Structures are given as C-alpha cells and as structure tokens.
Amino acid sequence: MVELSSRYAHTLFDLAKESGALEEFAKQAHFIREILKSEDCRRVLDNPMLSNDEKRDFITDILAGNVHNDLAGLLYMLITKRNESLIVPALTSFINMVSMNIEKTDAHVVSAVELDEKQIKILKNTLQKKINKQVHITVSVDKTLIGGLQIHVDGYLIDRSVKKQLEDLKENLKEVL
C-alpha cells in the first residue's frame, strides 16, 4: 500500500512540476489532507455503502472548485479505484516530496510549556541553519515531557525532553544492575 500511495504521489509531483505550480499544489494538498484526516470525512470515504459517485460528490463539495484539476483528478481516481485509504498517505508523500524539492519543510515542536514568540523564532532560525531549509513551525504542549522539547522534522525526531532523559537513565541503570 505504501508503494502504491508513493506512486500516486510521484505522479502528482510530476504533474505539479510540469505545470510549474509545486508550491500551489503543496498548499492545496496540505489543506485537503488536513480536512480528510477528520473522523467525519474518514467515515464518509471509508463507508462501503456509499457509491463512488456519492463519495466524488462529497469531495467536490469539500473542494468547492478551489483545487487544481490534476489534484482533484487524483482524488477522484483513487475513489473510483476504491483506494480511498490511500488519499491521505499519497498527499503526505507528495507534500514531503515538494518540501524536499523546494527546500522548505514543516517542523512540529512539542514542548513541556508554552513557547513565546521569541523562543519560537530562535528555534526556527536554529533549525533553518542546521537543515539548510526554510522551516514552518507548529507548536503544541505536552506537560508529560516534564521539560525540554521534541522536534519532528523531515521524518526525524529530536527528543531533548526530560521525560526521554529519565527513560534513558532508567534503561542505563537496568543494564548496570
């Protein structure tokens, strides 16, 4: 399944590149992916009782004509072939491919406490220097981290949380004892 969704992503990437609209396609794909991740959308798309036409109409209503024809065509084709479960993974792969190609990426930062704008700016600048890409940061709070950060970027996890350090210490003590 991963291979198939990757093929769809590559096809969409080639179409977007040909039309010179990689960034536009990526923004639209990101928007669609976030909508289709919702539980309500999943229920509609995964419902075997609904016909392909009903699912296409549902997607058409969501898109409201604000999406490039090639991108909408991919969604319709996946529905027609009963591969609705591949839509979100294919869009995710496509977004990642575009990010790598245009040297922009998204980073998700999980912090034990709320970060202020200055901290986010410093973190963004540091990440941009380390990975040589423009970085868009989204931040969430997870108090179970106790302190520190987790940074998810380009398929990597940088875990500098107190929780992780305590887990590592526990594992090291088990080995010693």
| Spatial strand order in the sheet of 156-161 | 134-141, 104-111, 148-153, 156-161
∠ CA 77-25-96, nearest 5°, is: 90
CB atoms within 10 A of CB 12: 25
5-11 LR contacts (CB < 8 Å, sep 24+): 5/86, 5/89, 5/90, 5/93, 6/90, 6/93, 8/74, 8/78, 8/86, 8/90, 8/93, 8/94, 9/90, 9/91, 9/92, 9/93, 9/94, 9/97, 10/97, 11/74
User: What pLDDT, on a 0 to 100 scale, did the predictor assign at position 167?
Assistant: 95
Cβ 96 vs Cβ 66: under 8 Å = no
User: What pLDDT, on a 0 to 100 scale, did the predictor assign at position 133?
Assistant: 84
User: What pLDDT, on a 0 to 100 scale, did the predictor assign at position 168?
Assistant: 93
For residue range 131-169, list pLDDT tens digits in order: 888 899 999 999 999 999 999 998 899 999 999 999 999
- Indicate whether this model's pTM tops 0.85: no
- The stretch 3-25 carries a mean pLDDT of 87
Domains, the chain, in order of start with CATH, read: 2-100 (1.10.520.20), 105-176 (no CATH)
pLDDT band at 172 (very low <50, low <70, confident <90, very high): very high
User: What pLDDT, on a 0 to 100 scale, did the predictor assign at position 113?
Assistant: 96
Distance from the Cα of residue 148 to its chain's centroid: 23
For residue range 79-135, list pLDDT tens digits in order: 989 888 888 899 999 998 887 777 778 899 999 999 999 999 999 999 999 988 889
**Is the pLDDT at 1 greater than 60, yes or no?**
no
pLDDT band at 40 (very low <50, low <70, confident <90, very high): confident
Tokens standing for 109? Answer: 């930062």
**Dihedral over Cα of 90, 96, 102, 104: its sign:** positive
User: What pLDDT, on a 0 to 100 scale, did the predictor assign at position 164?
Assistant: 95
